[in-house]
Chains A and B, each alone.
Chain A
């Protein structure tokens, strides 16, 4: 089981790296879906099946599909591939890579000082729902309002 964690983690990292260097946008999107599914596996291994399901269904299934719709609508497909290739060169990666490396380095530095283990205990749907309908019901309502706002603005912005 623990092995699964590391394998899925490696897949997630590799496919995310693939996303950011792709020139074909649809391919990048597919790699992203792969990455998200790998992360869903990680969630499951960590004992959060509900989160895994949500990740797969909502994130990979709804959000990225939405992305796909828009990409299709904008007709960003094959013919922009050359444009993408021209924009993406190694020189562009220098500064972001340096900064990310710095950030990651500090993060690793801090993390290495933690020396705790986590026990994989299964926290099921029941516990999560109990919380959602219990202490965090207000958060749920606010989330729905947020979604409503997103809905209205998306409709308005995408209108002709």
Chain B
């Protein structure tokens, strides 16, 4: 039976998560932000699968399925919002969404 150290899997998930985080904070195009958000979700799913392998259960995959579903719904709604925003502001610049000032 081959083994992989658990922390390697989790470190991979952590790196992907932080990369996604950088993407969210850096980009100004809202579509890119959403994409980086997907990266983060994916990274957390990876963490669950690693845990499933560690314990040998299938619950981790079930959780991954839930996360996937969540990501799908979120993307659907998020893209709908982006379309609305584009229609209203004619731009995908995130700085256009700053009316809640003060």
Chain A residues packing against B (C-beta within 8 Å):
1-2, 5-6, 9, 12-13, 16-17, 19-20, 25, 28-29, 32, 35-36, 39, 42-43, 46-48, 50-51, 54-55, 58-59, 62-64, 66-67, 70-71, 73-74, 76, 80, 84, 87-88, 92-93, 95-97, 99-101, 103-104, 107-108, 111-112, 114-121, 123, 127-128, 130-132, 136, 139, 143, 146-147, 149-151, 153-158, 160
- 22 residue pairs bridging A and B, Cβ less than 8 Å apart: A2-B2, A5-B9, A12-B12, A13-B12, A20-B26, A42-B12, A51-B45, A66-B75, A66-B76, A87-B28, A93-B22, A100-B18, A116-B6, A117-B3, A119-B1, A128-B62, A132-B62, A143-B69, A151-B76, A154-B79, A155-B80, A157-B81
Q: Return the contact of A123 from the options B25, B61, B69, B79 (Cβ within 8 A).
A: B61
**Cα separation A121 to B65 with both chains bound (whole Å):** 19
Whether A150 pairs with B16 at a CB distance below 8 angstroms is: no
Residues 8 to 54 of chain B near chain A (Cβ within 8 Å): 8-12, 14-16, 18-23, 25-29, 31-32, 34-36, 38-39, 42, 45-46, 49-50, 52-54
